Amino acid sequence: MGLTRRGLMTVAGAGTVGGTLLGGCAMGGGNDDSDSAEGDVNTANPLGVKEDAPLEVVIFNGGFGEEYAKAHEAMYKERYPKAEIKHSATQKIQEAMQPRFVAGDVPDVLNNSGGFQIDFNGLVSQGSLADLGPLLDAPTLDDPKVKVRDTLQPGIVEMGTYDGRFLSLNYAYSAYGIWYSAKLFADKGWQYPRTWDAMIALCKQIKAAGIAPWTYPGVHARYMSWPILAAAGKLGGLDVLKAIDNLEPNAWKHEAVRTAADAFYQLAADGLVQPGAEGMDHIQAQTEWSRGKAAFYSSGSWLENEQKAVTPPDFRMAVSPVPSLSTGDRLPFEAIRGAGSEPFVVPAKAKNLRGGLEYLRVMLSKRGASDFTTRVNSLTSVRGATSSTPAPGLTSVTKLLDAAGTNTFTWLYNSYYRKLEREFVNAACADMFAKRINAQQFVDRCQQAADEIARDSSVKKYKRA
């Protein structure tokens, strides 16, 4: 569980950093960065990095590992050979970083990700994060005439913006969908279903063949909320998702959400879910899927890298959109959820704030982005950056995004109000797929939780346009 807003009320000396890059001026809003290392601003050094200032980078050691970060650090070192770089990685970001935010002894770059990340709502409301706006307006390392912001995937700036300030760079770009083995489907003569009726019919065939149609991580059951909301957004339109983001009354009770929840509840009600999935975490469920014990699994495009150690060589991971619920869906079958993940931040009290921004600029170069994609088989927030040796899953993801075109979408409530997804929606999903509640009770519980957050004056609210 992330640090709560009340917990962050104790963070000492959390200043804000805003404004734009101007010559030798401070990059701060109300407070300047006079305590942070500062070098000369020029064409070769647009962010004013002090060339010999130490840089500390803390990475979440999750599905992507940490080797990609070491490569980015080496690229930074090439540009600033006098800079000493301190690297560390952990899965328990909150445990490692919360005391340091309290003490004001923060790293220069933090990959605030994973199940034990620090709550963004708290970090934002306490002014603990630097404004990354100067990074967006800086020229890319590849072309001085192109700004960094003009190279980013759709939605990346929106997803990382709070109260008009860009505070979080979601570096990885994840396409979400339903995953399966292309080899299994080819061997069995199965075709991925484009409609929900076809999905249920195929699931019955799969079950008859002795394979569980679906599996899911019951411990992290929110994974199944992703296809539910994707189906709801495709059925009812994107305003359905924006209403959820904005904590609007009865947003979760919209007919499109209830219809989508009812469709997925059918999987549990008809016995189309792997027995025992209720007690699995994501690694256990994914491993069952990789071993051919189940046909379908809901996840994002980090899945291939996370499963590379246990996936058979000829498995041929593939991903497709959530099936359409009706012929009247507002968005086409090809529409998918595409969103940034792996959030990187620069703490406002960083000793080398400008170096932190520069490190992100290195990450967002074509070289930095392509190296990441090649290493971990996942796309980045940089458009057009590809792998030199794409694996089957990554190839499928690329085709998925190409087919979706402009019909990519996402939701932000899980970034704005992490507790709502990680606790309340997760618990409601767990109960629904265990058949302890039905679809109507699922949406009622999600709405009740959203209403509680909306009424809680201690929780900072955000408005999505």
Residues 159, 242 share a domain: no
Q: Which pLDDT score is estimated for 2?
A: 33
Residues 162, 287 share a domain: no
Asked whether residue 73 is domain-assigned, the answer is yes
Domain range spanning residue 43?
Answer: 5-171+341-391
Element (H, E) at 108: none
Token pair 């020229």: residue = 139
Residues 231, 93 share a domain: no
Asked whether residue 461 is domain-assigned, the answer is no
In whole angstroms, what is the distance from residue 364 CA to residue 32 CA?
Answer: 26
Residues 111, 208 share a domain: no
Residues 244, 322 share a domain: yes
Q: Which pLDDT score is estimated for 185?
A: 98
Residues 138, 41 share a domain: yes
pLDDT in tens, 312-367: 999 999 999 999 999 999 999 999 999 998 999 999 999 999 999 999 999 999 99
In whole angstroms, what is the distance from residue 97 CA to residue 87 CA?
Answer: 14
In whole angstroms, what is the distance from residue 371 CA to residue 132 CA?
Answer: 23
Residues 166, 87 share a domain: yes
Asked whether residue 398 is domain-assigned, the answer is no
Asked whether residue 128 is domain-assigned, the answer is yes
Q: Which pLDDT score is estimated for 246?
A: 97
Sequence-distant (6+) residues with CB within 8 A of 423 are 1, 449
- Helix, strand, coil percent values for the chain (each to nearest 5): 40, 15, 40
Residues 164, 47 share a domain: yes
In whole angstroms, what is the distance from residue 162 CA to residue 150 CA?
Answer: 20
Q: Which pLDDT score is estimated for 390?
A: 85
Q: Which pLDDT score is estimated for 280?
A: 98
Alpha helices in 291-438 (DSSP H): 303-306, 353-363, 366-376, 392-404, 413-416, 418-419, 426-433
Task: Supply φ then ψ for residue 462, to 5 degrees.
Answer: -130, 150
Residues 105, 229 share a domain: no
Q: Which pLDDT score is estimated for 30?
A: 34
In whole angstroms, what is the distance from residue 301 CA to residue 88 CA?
Answer: 25
pLDDT along the chain (465 residues), means of 10: 30 31 36 70 95 97 92 98 97 95 96 90 92 97 97 92 94 95 98 98 98 98 98 98 98 98 98 98 97 97 90 96 98 96 96 98 97 91 85 93 94 93 97 98 98 95 90
Asked whether residue 427 is domain-assigned, the answer is yes
Domain count, the chain: 2
Q: Which pLDDT score is estimated for 294?
A: 98
The tokens describing 153, both together, are 């995937």
Task: Supply φ then ψ for residue 181, to 5 degrees.
Answer: -95, 115
What is the three-class DSSP state of 97? Answer: helix
Asked whether residue 404 is domain-assigned, the answer is no
Domain of residue 443, CATH code = 3.40.190.10
Asked whether residue 79 is domain-assigned, the answer is yes
pTM of the model: 0.84
Residues 345, 331 share a domain: no
The tokens describing 111, both together, are 């990959």
Asked whether residue 399 is domain-assigned, the answer is no
Residues 328, 346 share a domain: no
Residues 151, 29 share a domain: yes
Could you tell me if 380 and 172 are in contact, meaning their C-beta atoms sit under 8 angstroms apart? yes
Q: Which pLDDT score is estimated for 120?
A: 87
DSSP 82: T
Alpha helices in 88-188 (DSSP H): 93-103, 120-125, 133-137, 156-159, 182-188
